[in-house]
Amino acid sequence: MPSPFSAETAEAIQHARQHSVGDLLRRTALRLPDKLAIVSGERRATYREFDAAVNRCAHRLAERGLAKGDRLALLSRNCWEYAVLVFATAKLGVVLVPVNFMLGAEEVAYILGHAGVSGLIAEDALLDTAAEAVKRSGRADVVRGRIGGSGGEWESVADWIDQPGDETAPAVAVADDDPLRLMYTSGTESRPKGVLLSSRSLIAQYVSCAIDGSMTGDDIEVHSLPLYHCAQLDCFLSVDVYLGATSVILPGPDPAALLAAVERERATKLFAPPTVWISLLRHPAFDTTDLSSLRKGYYGASPMPVEVLRELARRLPDVQLWNFYGQTEMAPLATILRPHEQLAKAGSAGRASINVETRIVDEDGRELPPGEVGEIVHRSPHATLGYYEDEEKTAAAFAGGWFHSGDLGVLDEEGYLSVVDRKKDMIKTGGENVASREVEEALYLLDGIAEVAVFGVAHPHWIEAVTAAVVPREGVTLTEDEVLAHARKHLAGYKCPKYVVFVDALPKNPSGKIVKRALREGHADLAKS
């Protein structure tokens, strides 16, 4: 219904009720001005200093013509400037477009063009890629900022942040559902889609993370996974800012640097996908590093292998673990497996978080009973506003008034979700469906395996052949016969790998997800050899 008040009164009410992502930092700075907010390299900033830096940067962006609704791309590894830009754009209502720093110029150009960006900020080491991407995208008139250097047409972002300037909050009205973030999906299967998120999506998700993940303002967290990815940025860094916790930012998940940071900063909290937790356990400094401060551990991207869960419980007995399952379109959290459920419900993605409803449906959108496999769908304020410039995909994703995840899963009688597979990761072999995750869990029981990924390759008889890429533990020699003999002890015959390939490492994107597309492409000719 239309407002019963005058336009002036309605505007005043809206201003008083505003609760956007940019407001979160200001409110934390008012509550906890002298609390340590960010540690990044030599930089140690309190919340008062962090908020002032964000405001200076926001005004510099506005002076360069960036305004509410414009898109600003950010191509950088984790750093102090990244954290500042996340909140500076939010205060202006500028839509931040975080870009995967592993992409090539052509892939970055696609995102710049598709998003219609008005600006691009890139770290010094990625400037050549950024410049080439701008050229290919046809966005020649974009504002250009440079992290870690200065000169030429790329202005120094450090100057925007650190030079004296206006430290008042920008006077911009940002409504709950104004877009603030345009996150491009990882593109492990196809062209990335642009996922629009608003303050309402993000803040509802922050609340779910904080409540169901037992997060508090007393946390000291190390952030090493890429901030361009929604998991590290929005399940952890932004929640820490909301609560007033301390964030230690590392450029990447190097195991030695990660272990050293936990010890040096007395960190209490750490998020990493299973692949990174495994790399920490295997690092020679693990047992000599003081990790006694660590109390909370989080993982996502894939379930933690049961044997790794047991090893973590043995070697980090004081650390509680949570499994966060979701996707970019859910901002990203959907379900959580809590500490007391880790072994009792091993492999499960848990139950719907506090602001989410989750169900399993068939191909016609009908709800399925417990025990039956179907597509995982959600209803939640976490959900995306839709795919940018893509009505068709948005309509399909929200068919029936539920967000369709594209994942296959099953609920048990208690409402615990098991993610069977991405639809495209289900292997159809000899007329049977094989969940790659089930085969991986079985193979992880073999002591000599450090990591394994299971996928399908084209086969003239089986249509798809189950294939395992195995990374042996350091110093261990495994044979194909040993792996197959082990598989036959634990799996039905049709689920056992037809091929076993040994590799030094599995291909992963910067968020730690194994890129099975690369494995399928790299071993596509196995059946022909």
What pLDDT score was predicted for residue 331? 98
Q: What per-residue confidence (pLDDT) applies to 187?
A: 47
Helix (H, G, I), strand (E, B) or coil at 46: strand
Q: Could you read off the pLDDT tens digit of each residue along the chain, which spans 529 residues? A: 677 899 999 999 999 999 999 999 999 999 999 999 999 999 999 999 999 999 999 999 999 999 999 999 999 999 999 999 999 999 999 999 999 898 889 889 999 999 999 999 999 999 999 999 999 998 889 999 999 987 788 999 999 999 999 999 999 999 999 999 999 986 444 568 999 999 999 999 999 999 999 999 999 999 999 999 999 999 999 999 999 999 999 999 999 999 999 999 999 999 998 889 989 999 999 999 999 999 999 999 777 888 889 999 999 999 999 999 999 999 999 999 999 999 999 989 999 999 999 999 998 999 999 999 999 999 999 999 999 999 999 999 999 999 999 888 999 999 999 988 666 667 878 656 677 877 898 899 999 999 999 999 988 777 789 999 999 999 999 999 999 999 998 887 878 999 999 999 999 877 677 888 889 989 999 987 6
Q: Do 504 and 472 contact (CB within 8 A), yes or no? A: no
Q: What is the pLDDT of residue 140?
A: 87
- Report the mean per-residue pLDDT for the chain: 93
Q: Which residues lie below 8 Å from residue 66, measured CB to CB, with a gap of 6+?
A: 72, 92, 94, 118, 119, 143
List, in order, residues 6 or more apart from 487 with CB less than 8 Å away: 439, 442, 443, 468, 495, 496, 497
Q: What angle do CA 462, 424, 412 make, to 5 degrees?
A: 100
* Predicted local confidence at residue 455, as pLDDT: 92
- What's residue 421's pLDDT? 66
User: What is the 8-class DSSP label of residue 304?
Assistant: P
| pLDDT value of residue 471 | 96
pLDDT at 425: 67
What pLDDT shows up at residue 163? 96
Cα 250 to its chain centre, rounded Å, is 16
Q: What is the C-alpha to C-alpha distance for residues 218 and 208, in angstroms, rounded to an integer?
A: 18
Q: Name the nearest CA neighbour of 270 among 307, 231, 328.
A: 231
- Look-up of token digits 């008012």: 30
| One-letter amino acid of 390 | D
pTM: 0.83
Domains of the chain: 14-198 (3.40.50.12780), 430-528 (3.30.300.30)
CA angle 109, 113, 115 (to 5 degrees): 115
Q: Order the strands of the 333-337 sheet from edge to edge.
A: 43-46, 36-40, 246-249, 220-223, 269-271, 296-299, 320-326, 333-337, 351-352
469: DSSP letter: E
Concatenated DSSP letters of 56-111: HHHHHHHHTT--TT-EEEEE--S-HHHHHHHHHHHHHT-EEEEE-TT--HHHHHHH
What sign does the CA torsion over 346, 347, 353, 357 have?
A: negative
